[in-house]
């Protein structure tokens, strides 16, 4: 992993990759620089991939100022810290229900880490949990489409995969749009209603914006949280002394989650596109170039973190970039941290001897820019 993260271009923090046609940025200060200058390093990467541009209205992750500021203000009005904090008892209840299904052996991802965040987002939005399985299929489809959309030359097989995925995206969009129309007529106590009612300086969200925002929540907040849960357990299990410390002193749980976000960042890279010729880390980059900012690599930059390849739950301060930085800083960070804290605490309460299964190896998801497990067998 270290080779993959930083070793390929040890003398370059910024470099062009002929194979992908993109620029890779690995260094902490270089990435901070790009994230703090959205005028030069735009988030509207879909303009280089026209097939995907239908999904940009209301998609916070694709907007630049001033549109980003307007939309972020509106959705933050609905998706407040209180809305997240109020979810605590329900997240604990859902985690307990999912743990009830576990025997003396369990597979963490399918039994807890995958279902929990998708149920939480579905309930937060206010869609019936009876539609959970359908939701999972759509969300998988969206995840697959974002994987393939980044490929430069797609094979006919990739094209089919991409088309299927886009179909799933379309179905999810109409499902959400239906619910939004319903909320306009019959408001409920849920996030969709809050989004419908949100108003800042006389401006309200359109149905299309709310639909796409709902999709963004599912894309940005589901698999990433699945990965956070798996990665945190994997890191702790690989460092028994630290696992023991966390078991003995639960006040270390939040710091263990932060360190896991640094050590195995789920969202390994965020993309940006240059709006004009610029310089980054002493390298000239022309306009209209796609950049991958490898926050997972920056999180191991020795210029920022002492002993970056050491997992240390007592690391303080820990300015890890796992949730990004700047105007696009993860809107769901409080929710992800809350889910991580509740799930880890409840798992350790119920299964104090929990460890990974030495006879059944964990597996990583095959993804170019996400780092997380698709399978983590546990002995409870």
**Backbone conformation region of residue 306, classed left if phi is above 0, alpha if psi is from -120 to 50, else beta:** beta
Q: State in angstroms the smallest separation of the CB of 266 from ligand HEM.
A: 4
Residue 92: DSSP 8-state: H
Q: Which of 40, 46, 61, 147 binds ligand HEM (CB under 6 A)?
A: 61
Residue 336 binds ligand HEM (CB under 6 A): yes
58 counts as binding ligand HEM under rule CB under 6 A: no
Report in angstroms how near the CB of residue 60 gets to ligand HEM at its nearest. Answer: 4
The single residue among 34, 116, 234, 335 that binds ligand HEM, judged by CB under 6 A, is: 335
Nearer to ligand HEM, 161 or 304 (CB): 304
Least distance to ligand HEM, CB of residue 73, Å: 10
Q: Which is nearer to ligand HEM, 33 or 328 (CB)?
A: 328
**Rounded distance, CA 292 to CA 296, Å?**
11
Site for ligand HEM contains 144 (CB under 6 A): no
What's the residue count for the chain?
A: 380
Residue 219 Cβ vs ligand HEM, minimum distance, rounded to whole Å:
8
Shortest gap between Cβ of 371 and ligand HEM (angstroms)? 10
Alpha carbons within 13 A on the beta-carbon side of 239: 20
213-252 residues near ligand HEM, rule: CB under 6 A = 216-217, 220-221, 224-225, 228
Q: Does 348 bind ligand HEM (CB under 6 A)?
A: no
Q: What are phi and psi of 313, to 5 degrees?
A: -70, -10
Tokens of 162: 């991409």
| Residue given tokens 């800083």 in the structure block | 329
The window from 10-18, 265-273, 356-364, 370-378 that contacts ligand HEM (CB under 6 A) reads 265-273
Dihedral over alpha carbons 332, 338, 344, 349 (to 10 degrees): -160
* DSSP state for residue 370 in the 8-state scheme: B
- Between residues 216 and 233, which has the closer beta carbon with respect to ligand HEM? 216
Distance CA 208, CA 57 (A): 7
For position 263 contacting ligand HEM by CB under 6 A, the verdict is no
C-beta closer to ligand HEM: residue 239 or 341: 341
Q: Where are the beta strands (DSSP E) in the chain?
A: 14-17, 22-25, 41-42, 105-107, 199-200, 203-204, 270-274, 278-280, 283-285, 290-293, 355-356, 363-364, 373-375, 377-379
Please identify, among the stretches 145-153, 183-191, 327-335, 358-366, the one whose residues bind ligand HEM according to the rule CB under 6 A.
327-335
Q: Which is nearer to ligand HEM, 244 or 292 (CB)?
A: 292
* Residues 274 and 202: beta-carbon distance below 8 Å: no
Roughly what angle, to the nearest 10 degrees, separates helices 156-185 and 207-221? 120
Residue 43 binds to ligand HEM (criterion: CB under 6 A): yes
- The answer to whether 211 contacts ligand HEM (rule: CB under 6 A) is no
364 binds ligand HEM (CB under 6 A): no
Alpha helix positions (H), 154-311: 156-185, 191-197, 207-221, 223-238, 240-248, 253-263, 295-298
Q: Distance between CA atoms of 30 and 27, rounded to whole angstroms?
A: 5
Residue 25 within binding range of ligand HEM, rule CB under 6 A: no
And the tokens for 185? Answer: 């007529």
Count of chain residues binding ligand HEM (CB under 6 A): 24
- Asked if 72 interacts with ligand HEM (CB under 6 A), we say yes
Q: Does 343 bind ligand HEM (CB under 6 A)?
A: no
The footprint of ligand HEM (CB under 6 A) covers 43, 60-61, 72, 121, 216-217, 220-221, 224-225, 228, 266-267, 270, 322-324, 328, 330-332, 335-336
């Amino acid at each position: 992993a270290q080779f993959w993260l930083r070793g390929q271009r040890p003398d370059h923090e910024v470099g062009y990759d002929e194979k992908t046609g993109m620029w890779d940025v690995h260094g902490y200060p270089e990435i901070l620089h790009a994230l703090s200058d959205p005028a030069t390093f735009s988030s509207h990467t879909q303009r280089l991939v026209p097939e995907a541009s239908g999904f940009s209205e209301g998609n916070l992750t694709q907007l630049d100022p001033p549109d980003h500021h307007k939309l972020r203000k509106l959705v933050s009005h609905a998706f407040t810290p209180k809305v997240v904090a109020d979810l605590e008892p329900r997240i604990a209840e859902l985690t307990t229900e999912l743990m009830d299904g576990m025997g003396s052996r369990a597979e963490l991802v399918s039994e807890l880490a995958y279902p929990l965040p998708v149920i939480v987002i579905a309930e937060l939005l206010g869609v019936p949990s009876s539609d959970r399985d359908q939701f999972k299929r759509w969300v998988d489809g969206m995840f697959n489409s974002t994987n393939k959309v980044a490929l430069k030359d797609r094979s006919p097989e990739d094209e089919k995969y991409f088309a299927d995925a886009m179909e799933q995206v379309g179905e999810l969009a109409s499902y959400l749009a239906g619910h939004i129309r319903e909320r306009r007529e019959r408001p409920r106590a849920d996030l969709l209603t809050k989004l419908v009612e949100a108003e800042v300086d006389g401006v309200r969200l359109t149905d299309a914006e709310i639909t796409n925002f709902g999709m963004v929540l599912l894309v940005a907040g589901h698999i990433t949280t699945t990965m956070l849960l798996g990665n945190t357990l994997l890191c702790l299990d690989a460092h028994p002394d630290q696992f023991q410390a966390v078991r003995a002193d639960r006040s270390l749980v939040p710091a263990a989650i932060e360190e896991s976000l640094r050590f195995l960042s789920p969202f390994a890279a965020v993309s940006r596109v240059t709006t004009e010729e610029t310089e980054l880390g002493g390298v000239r980059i022309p306009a209209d170039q796609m950049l991958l900012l490898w926050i997972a690599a920056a999180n191991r930059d020795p210029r920022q973190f002492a002993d970056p390849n050491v997992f240390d739950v007592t690391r303080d301060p820990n300015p890890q970039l796992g949730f990004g930085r700047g105007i696009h800083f993860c809107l769901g960070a409080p929710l992800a941290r809350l889910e991580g804290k509740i799930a880890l605490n409840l798992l350790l309460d119920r299964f104090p001897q929990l460890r990974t299964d030495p006879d059944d190896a964990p597996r990583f998801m095959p993804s170019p820019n996400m780092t997380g497990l698709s399978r983590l067998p546990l002995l409870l």
